[in-house]
Amino acid sequence: MITVEESLLLPELSSITVRSGQGGLSRRIRWTHIMGGNKIGHFLEGGELLLTSGKGWPDDPILEEKLLHSLLNHQISGIIFATGHYLKDCPPAALEFGEFHDIPILEMPFDVPFVKISKAINQLIMNKQFWKNELMNSISPGLTKQLTSFTDIKETCDFIANYLKCPIILTTFDQKILTTAIPVDYQEPFNPSRQVKMMSNQLNNTISEEKSIKSFPNIVRVSNPEFPNSVAVQLLIGNEIWGILWLLNLGQAKDQSNQQLILEYFSSILIDIFVQQKQLEAKEKLAQLEMLEFLIEKTEIDLNDADVKLRNLGFYHNKQWIMGIVLPDLNNQSISSKEITQVRDAYKSWLGANEEVSGFCQFYKQQLILLISSDFDNLLLKQYLNELHSYLIENTQIPNISILFGGIKTEWKSLNQSYNDIKSLMSIVKTICYKEGVYFSDELRREMLLYQGFNRHQAIELRKAILPAEFFTERGEVFYETLKCLALNNFNREKTSEILHIHRNTLRYRIEKIEELLQCRLSTSRSQFWVQVALDLEALAT
């Protein structure tokens, strides 16, 4: 099989444009198939790249959603829309579907024959399979049998290191180390970061700018004083290098006469595993999104089936359940794809280091949602969630990150209440909180009950009833800022004068003027309460 990205390098597909679902370009194409009618799912096995002129594409949104859901369940590799006759553009629902589920939605002119596209792709699939079969026939059956049984990149790299009797390093294209492996009896010093840095400059000078399809990997000789006979294998998907396999002192390996073929075969196995992992990640993402939809929207699902799906998603702790939403900035609640990736990776790493907590992080309806379960009591769970916040700040490039958590529930069936708590909490936090942090709905319950029903007009009217208009004149500005500073410091006069860098007598004078405007004493708890309410309403009113 080939990937969608590889197919797009074919000359016959040069008129095709990716409209959405860029994240799914690594999906494998099993074969091409022409769409006809709404019941195409009956004819699919999974992995098909579908071609449609748009004739028969549903006008009814309900039927369209049903069709797309069927295609999702069959895990198609993508859809090519031939526009310009039956369809002017790709259907908006299909574009949204592709972006949401990482399924490429492609567009081509109507006058390009489907047979030209199908023939080119299917021929490439057969050529690649033929090359792989030829490669397998050139290597001992025992070796191919062992390698084809591996499903894990680390396990495969360990085998390669022992078979070739040399240390190996697997990195991303930009030299981030993914894994390392050394032979069992290897005794020499081994510093992976140092070795990669020494050899990377040589490799960068050899990378071709040409964009073409290659069945075989680029194998480049690199060297350094410590490992003079080393090799870098560029692992290609289409024309993109997703990884580099560094083999140090390869000259010590056995079967040197067959070395090129062995390296090509090892590389093809690693690429297959990588693509397979991408496919599994896509299926896991689908399962997570379906679970969020069920928990939040209360879509119909068998409760026993839901229990099984949660266990399959890794939820082994079930005494406490909670939902959270990650915000990169309290003042700007949108989140970029780069930030989503950073948070997901950091959250996954944090979960790996904290086995007492289960969960996942998924982007759902324009929000980055955390679903968490644990057997901890409330106090200890909150402690862990505060540690999670610190971990995300340290391991992402998002310094102002905040997390809003709904109520902790004792069963997953109540998680939609936890999500609704967050929605109420979000407007409150934006109104009364001034810095990033971790916010729990149960700790701000009073504020939620007090403020969540206010619209902007009501907030302005209540604020006017508490604070006279003189506070918002040029002359009254200094008294308003002094009042805010007092409230932020629990009306502690000494601390307030220190922060404002003014003498205590000056502060005393200002407080007298403030009390004169408010017509009440600031020392009373009632006055302090209403001043705090007015200040809390500032963001909502403005």
Task: List the domain boundaries for the chain.
Answer: 2-128, 139-277, 301-445, 456-541
Radius of gyration of the chain (CA): 30
Q: How confident is the model at residue 403 (pLDDT cuts 50, 70, 90)?
A: very high
**Residue 239: its pLDDT value, please?**
65
Q: What average pLDDT is seen over the chain?
A: 84
Measured CA to CA in angstroms, residue 138 lies from 1, 73, 144, 273 at distances of 20, 38, 10, 21
Among the residue ranges 6-15, 250-259, 268-277, 304-313, the one predicted with the least confidence is: 250-259
Which residues make beta-bridge pairs with 438? 403
Q: What is the distance between the alpha carbons of residues 459 and 342, in angstroms, rounded to a whole number? A: 37
The stretch 212-226 carries a mean pLDDT of 64
Q: Where are the alpha helices (DSSP H) in 298-371?
A: 303-312, 337-353
Task: Write the CB contacts of 133 (distance below 8 Å, at least 6 apart in sequence).
Answer: none
Q: Residue 201's pLDDT is what?
A: 72
3-class secondary-structure state, position 52:
strand
pLDDT at 10 over 80: yes
What is the reported pLDDT for 137? Answer: 76
Fold classified for 301-445: Alpha-Beta Plaits (3.30.70)
- pLDDT in the model for residue 213: 41
Contacts with 479 (C-beta within 8 Å, 6 or more apart), sequence order: 471, 510, 513, 514, 517
What's the rounded Cα separation, in Å, for the pair 256 and 277? 31
Options 3.30.450.40, 3.30.410.10, 3.30.360.10, 3.40.30.10; CATH for 139-277 is 3.30.450.40
Residue 350's pLDDT is 93
Pick one of 3.30.450.20, 3.40.1390.20, 3.30.365.10, 3.30.540.10 as the CATH number of 2-128: 3.40.1390.20
- CATH fit for domain 456-541, picks 1.20.1340.10, 3.40.50.1100, 3.40.50.300, 1.10.10.2840: 1.10.10.2840
**pLDDT tens digit sequence for 293-351:** 888 887 666 667 788 888 888 887 778 999 999 988 777 667 887 888 889 999 999 99
Distance of CA 334 to the CA centre of its chain: 14
**pTM strictly above 0.75:** no
Q: What confidence score (pLDDT) does residue 346 get? A: 92
Instruction: List, for residues 455-480, the tens digit of each pLDDT value.
Output: 778 778 888 888 888 888 888 889 99
Instruction: Kindly write down the DSSP assignment for every residue of 158-216, as one continuous string.
Output: HHHHHHHTS-EEEE-TT--EEEEE--TT--S---HHHHHHHHHHHHHTT--------SS
Which residue matches tokens 């007009």? Answer: 457
pLDDT at 232: 86
Lowest mean pLDDT among 36-40, 95-99, 252-256, 504-508: 252-256
pLDDT surpassing 60 at residue 424: yes
Mean pLDDT computed over 281-303: 80
Q: What is the mean pLDDT of residues 208-227?
A: 61
Mean pLDDT of 506-532: 89
